[in-house]
Amino acid sequence: MKLLSVVIPCYNSQDYMSYCIESLLPGGDDVEILIVNDGSVDQTAAIADEYASKYPNMVKAIHQENGGHGEAVNAGIRHASGLYFKVVDSDDWVDIRAYMKVLKALRELSTDGNVVDMVISNFVYEKEGAKYKKIMKYDNVLPQDVIFGWDDIKQFRKGQYILMHSVIYRTQLLIDCGLVLPKHTFYVDNLYVYAPLEHVKRIYYVNVDLYRYFIGREDQSVQENIMIKRIDQQIKVNKLMIEHVDIDSIHNENLRHYMLRHLEIVTVVSSILLIRSGTAENLQKKTELWKYIKEKDARLYRSLKYGFMGNLINLPGSAGRKVSVGAYKISQKLVGFN
């Protein structure tokens, strides 16, 4: 068994995938790199095959019809032979020194028989043109270099969340909890990290800046104008997060509070993008989203709508929407997200 399986979902990634792959190769025989060519029409398939041929004990090329980012992750889970599992997008990369420290921690945990369900590390927003790079760190809320549970965490700040970039899951946990991401849907990374959390008992935090999250390509899915065009997919993931996890059934107070806050920020993003679009159709979709939440879970609806952020994005009239957008822009600058 490999120590770590890393899946790299690739769709027309010929221009940048090699940089991503090269950053992972120093992991050596402990690591399995699964390059999933998701129906690309450029040279992605050839590049994947070239790496698989050059590093047969480390790299596997998986070719499939286009199914979207989620189906590429699903393929990675199906083919993974590693004890742990991580997703690294093809336009991102890992810091080599941090990577070595994380692998050392995983190796020591597995050697001592202290297998954990989730390993967390920091990530960096590599925003093109930005003078200041925002680092998402967790040292203020998580114990370092020890195995811990949800009872041991502190309260996360607004804008501080466990994202796909920061998490490594135990592979069997993903299989056992039945995680299957929807096909042809963007923004499934939120569901990927969120749905398994209620099954996590043992956690380990390595305080290193491992993942470098690149933001800057014009066609990137997280660009605001593209997110607005794909708003139906954002709403779909938002609803799936609500359907997959019954927050009221989570007994641990810290985990329940965290998952409520995480769901809150995803719902805020959905709502603010619908407002930002400025169309009557999308304002109606915002109304329908909140109606859906109310009908699905009235208690959850009250928690989301009448919290600080919920109140802020549901201010009445055009003047209220301007205030909501202004607050969102401030958050963009403070947190560094798109």
How confident is the model over 171-185, as a mean pLDDT? 97
pLDDT tens-place string over residues 235-263 = 999 999 999 999 999 999 999 999 999 99
Question: pLDDT band for position 336 (50/70/90)?
Answer: very low
pLDDT at 317 over 80: no
Rounded distance between C-alpha atoms, residue 75 and residue 168, angstroms: 17
Give the rounded distance of the alpha carbon of 255 from its chain centre: 17
Are the C-beta atoms of 255 and 148 separated by less than 8 Å?
Answer: no
- pTM (2 decimals)? 0.91
Helix (H, G, I), strand (E, B) or coil at 18: helix
**Greater confidence, 208 or 332?**
208
Tokens of 304: 């989301």
Helix (H, G, I), strand (E, B) or coil at 153: coil
Tokens of 265: 């920020």
Task: Report the candidate in 318, 213, 310, 217 with the shortest Cα–Cα distance to residue 263.
Answer: 310
CA atoms within 13 A on the CB side of 277: 20
Least confident of 32-41, 55-64, 252-261, 328-337: 328-337
The single-letter code of the amino acid at 211 is: Y
Exposed/middle/buried for residue 14 (C-beta within 10 Å: 0-12, 13-18, 19+): middle
Question: pLDDT band for position 326 (50/70/90)?
Answer: low
Rounded distance between C-alpha atoms, residue 32 and residue 25, angstroms: 9
